[in-house]
Amino acid sequence: MKNSLIFVMFACFGFAQANSEEDKRIISLSPHLSEIVFALEQETYLVAVSDFSDYPYGQGCRTKKCTQPLPSVSSYQGADIASIVRLKPSIILAWEGGNKAQDLARLEQLGFTVYRSSPQAFNDVITDIERIGKLLNATQQASKLTKQLTSTLADLTQQYKDQNSTALYYMSQQPLSGVGNDRWINNLLAICGIQNIYADTASSFSQFSLADIIRKQPSHIIAGLSLPMKDIELFWAAHTDVFAPSIIKVNPDALHRFTPRVLPELAKLCKSVYL
């Protein structure tokens, strides 16, 4: 009860919507939202981030020198509500579906402004950037960035609109598993004219049978892994007599996070598929 009263006092007297640049205090509860803050040139106003907020400079770093990393107040275990309250943010950027629903509801009950991001396709990232730009008084930066991204996305879509290919998209070799019906990845692949052979499975991420993959004979294997390419190729080498797709490695941090970094990585993937 005592802790609840302290929370309410902070919410009522310690928190206020930012009315000026001096009042702006941003907390990001997801790596992709931390990246968007950087993309909008608002990183100096960050007061805390999540685990794995490591781009462009490293975990919790606002500058390359990074003498004092920002604290992490969010992990897979949930948000650190007490620390967030003490930091008195003017806005909290959260990932609906990635952050715990009860944590976001609690923060809103305490009176904080919580922006909820839930991208399913790259157009949703553009919308996030526009909306976050308004909330952070960074509309000029947001407008410039969204125009660039919209143009690049249109060019990619036009370039590959008549292409057609199939692929396995996997993210782990032990156990062999990867993308099933996940909307984000499948929507990206569709821009390149790529059909995920497991897009119709019941779950977003699934374990795969090697025998079934060989039976389906996808034209390409896309490895969303941080392993060296030689290790990826070695994994498939024993089956080349019956299965010889092209193997393409992508940067999972760039392609799996809902940020502007997606499009350059996606362009490389599209190009590799149709070499």
Degrees, nearest 5: CA angle 12-138-125: 95
Question: Is 50 exceeded by the pLDDT of residue 14?
Answer: no
Question: Is 60 exceeded by the pLDDT of residue 187?
Answer: yes
pLDDT, position 5: 36
The average pLDDT across 9-36 equals 71
Count up the domains in the chain and report the number: 2
Are 205 and 90 in a shared domain?
A: no
Are 134 and 113 in a shared domain?
A: yes
Instruction: Calculate the CA dihedral of residues 83, 85, 87, 89 and round it to 10 degrees.
Output: 130
- Asked which of 154, 188, 214 is the last residue of a domain, the reply is 154
pLDDT, position 275: 87
- Asked which of 121, 154, 187 is the last residue of a domain, the reply is 154
Quickly list H helices, the chain: 2-9, 31-39, 81-87, 101-109, 122-135, 139-159, 183-191, 210-216, 229-237, 252-256, 262-273
- Asked which of 98, 121, 154 is the last residue of a domain, the reply is 154
User: Residue 258 sits in which domain range?
Assistant: 162-273
In this prediction, residue 20 has a pLDDT band, given cuts at 50, 70 and 90, of low
Question: Is 80 exceeded by the pLDDT of residue 18?
Answer: no
Of 134, 174, 170, 176, the closest CA to residue 256 belongs to: 170
The average pLDDT across 217-238 equals 96
> 28-60 burial, b if ≥16 CB within 10 A, otherwise e?
bbbbbbbbbbbbbebbebbbbbbbbbebebebb
Residue 203 near residue 186 (C-beta atoms within 8 A): no
Are 110 and 184 in a shared domain?
A: no
**148: its two tokens:** 């660039």
Are 198 and 129 in a shared domain?
A: no
**141: its two tokens:** 């930066």
Mean of all residue pLDDT scores within the chain: 93
Question: For residue range 70-95, what is the model confidence (pLDDT) as tens digits?
Answer: 999 999 999 999 999 999 999 999 99
- What CATH number does the domain containing 29 carry? 3.40.50.1980
The average pLDDT across 45-66 equals 97
Amino acid at site 47: V
Are 109 and 220 in a shared domain?
A: no
Question: Which H/E stretch holds residue 181?
Answer: none
The average pLDDT across 9-37 equals 72
Question: Is 60 exceeded by the pLDDT of residue 16?
Answer: no
Residue 199 near residue 186 (C-beta atoms within 8 A): yes
Question: For residue range 248-261, what is the model confidence (pLDDT) as tens digits?
Answer: 999 999 999 999 99
Task: Evaluate if pTM is beyond 0.85.
Answer: yes
Q: How far apart are CA 178 and CA 20, in angstroms?
A: 45
Question: Is 50 exceeded by the pLDDT of residue 2?
Answer: no
Are 142 and 180 in a shared domain?
A: no
Q: How far apart are CA 121 and CA 112, in angstroms?
A: 27
Are 26 and 132 in a shared domain?
A: yes
Strand-pair partners of 164? none
By mean pLDDT, which of 10-24, 80-94, 96-110, 112-126 is the weakest?
Answer: 10-24
Question: Is 70 exceeded by the pLDDT of residue 19?
Answer: no
**Distance of CA 275 to CAs 34, 194, 208, 240, Å?**
34, 14, 27, 20
Are 119 and 241 in a shared domain?
A: no
Q: How far apart are CA 26 and CA 53, in angstroms?
A: 14
Are 140 and 167 in a shared domain?
A: no
Question: For residue range 204-227, what is the model confidence (pLDDT) as tens digits?
Answer: 999 999 999 999 999 999 999 999
**17: its two tokens:** 């919507």
Residue 257 near residue 31 (C-beta atoms within 8 A): yes
Question: For residue range 105-120, what is the model confidence (pLDDT) as tens digits?
Answer: 999 999 999 999 999 9
Helix (H, G, I), strand (E, B) or coil at 128: helix
Degrees, nearest 5: CA angle 210-252-45: 155
Question: For residue range 127-143, what is the model confidence (pLDDT) as tens digits?
Answer: 999 999 999 999 999 99
Task: Report how far Cα 201 is from the mean position of its chain's Cα atoms.
Answer: 22
Question: Is 50 exceeded by the pLDDT of residue 144?
Answer: yes
Are 15 and 135 in a shared domain?
A: yes
Q: How far apart are CA 27 and CA 104, in angstroms?
A: 13
Question: Is 50 exceeded by the pLDDT of residue 4?
Answer: no
**127: its two tokens:** 């919308």
Are 148 and 177 in a shared domain?
A: no
pLDDT, position 22: 67
**Beta carbons within 10 angstroms of residue 164's beta carbon:** 10
Are 41 and 81 in a shared domain?
A: yes
